[in-house]
Structure 1
Amino acid sequence: MIELDRIRFGWEEDKPVIDGLSLKIRQGDKAVILGANGCGKSTLLKLMNGLVFPQAGTIRYRGEPLAKSALADRHFARRFRQECALLFQHPEAMLFNPTVREEIAYGPRQLALPEPDACAERWAAAFGLVPRLDQPPFLLSGGEKQKVALACVLAIEPQLLLLDEPSASLDPATVGWLIDTLLEADTTVVAATHNLSLAAELGSRCLVMGEGGRLLYDGPVDAALANLALLEEARLAHRHRHRHGGATHAHLHAHDWDVG
């Protein structure tokens, strides 16, 4: 569905965030990108969404080059923007409409999808946002903003859904509902996180990134989470020192945390 071949990208050209990365996302994949803060997870999603472009290497979407020139073609751009949606790590970066109703309806309306207002009400109901429909998004709590942002990307019914820390600020019940929804949907999902529990529940395939945007692992989620040496190299696990009686021992632990 989307293929990256020897990608190199840096916000400063002589300081690559991602260097020599290659991967393929197949239609129907439920893939999780695991990595510590600063490893390039968010940058990788932006590259896959055509928001930034590599300084070297190529990206193809359904066999077609994903480049500035391709997105300058309005027919390709319209199709790509409807099929590929990105949830940003910080929902404030996505929200700009005067009400929650208009926020959720904005994408369907811009893409000329049928009944954008009914779509907004349907997704608001799914996320428990109906009482907030006519309120400004900037007045909502952090968790409610995250729900609105998720509703926005789901409302356009994308075929490739890119999620950057999707469980941030969400309560456990909403996280569980979101996982069930994504697993049941006929949608290709790529979710970036350092939440190990989310990775275990959401994905069947795991991509582990290390420092310098290197791909350390590409394979089954269960095997990745059981490999403490891999998690330590990716800075997703670390060694604790414990004192037992008169002796001190160091143990390797993988920890679960979120960015709420």
Structure 2
Amino acid sequence: MKRAIFTLAIGDNPMYKAAITSFEEYGKKVGADVIVSKELHYHLHVNNKKYDASPAWSEKLYIAELLKTYDRVLYLDADILVSPFAENIFEECPELDTVYMFNEGKYKDRSPHAQRINEVLGEAHWPEENGKMVYFNSGMILLSKETGLFDNASADEMQKICNEVKFYDQTYINYLIRRDKINCVSVDKRFNRMPLLGLEDYQSASFIHYAGRGYREKVPMRDLKFIIDYCEIFKDQLSEAQILDYKKQAWHWYMLKQQRKTKLPIPLLSAVFGLFHPQHKY
């Protein structure tokens, strides 16, 4: 059975580099090829800044193409870190006719998004568990050919909702599950450990998802925190030189972000921000 791990990573963000390296190590353990989209296959016109949406989110549709070659595909956002001790999700979640995702609706009310997509694309029934609507996070998706999840999906439908519905790609995938009556099971939190579950003990999960602000606490940027955690979790596999290089790259990425805001030279910004965050400057 052919397996793939798929992600989207456009640009030189060191967080992506670290994430993909963790995917590659995991792929060796579970017998899966790692496939990275570095350019978009679908081109949506996204212009509603209210939702801070990206045209890149449409790339999840490419999973349908991969399923023409692979029997099972594990999609992971590039802000997920796969731990070196991660369990084999392909074995933990074996049913081929079932989509496996994490139910974030248990913790966050996403019903307004469901209502809006129903208004745009037509009615679908959204079930509840314990009085809360089931709504899956799409940062991690495990599916097989047999699920049929993307059989009736289209970029045209995504275009209709991308400026109308919050988290348009995620909400669309949830909508497809409901409209097309796709079998779906919520995975344990260890396979999509999200910040909405709190900060305690998050590093013990198999798949650590740095969604939103991530686990940054006093760290000034999510990407910096990702690299700090990556270097700590993988310290036995990384040399001191590799760790230092990752941290330098992450600091430089942080400075590039500040430069875009201020238009000031990076050496000056690095000196100033280094005074406030000396423990994170390399």
Q: TM-score if structure 1 supplies the norm length?
A: 0.31
Higher-RCO chain (CA-CA 8 Å, sequence separation at least 6):
1
| Higher strand fraction (1 or 2) | 1
Q: TM-score if structure 2 supplies the norm length?
A: 0.29
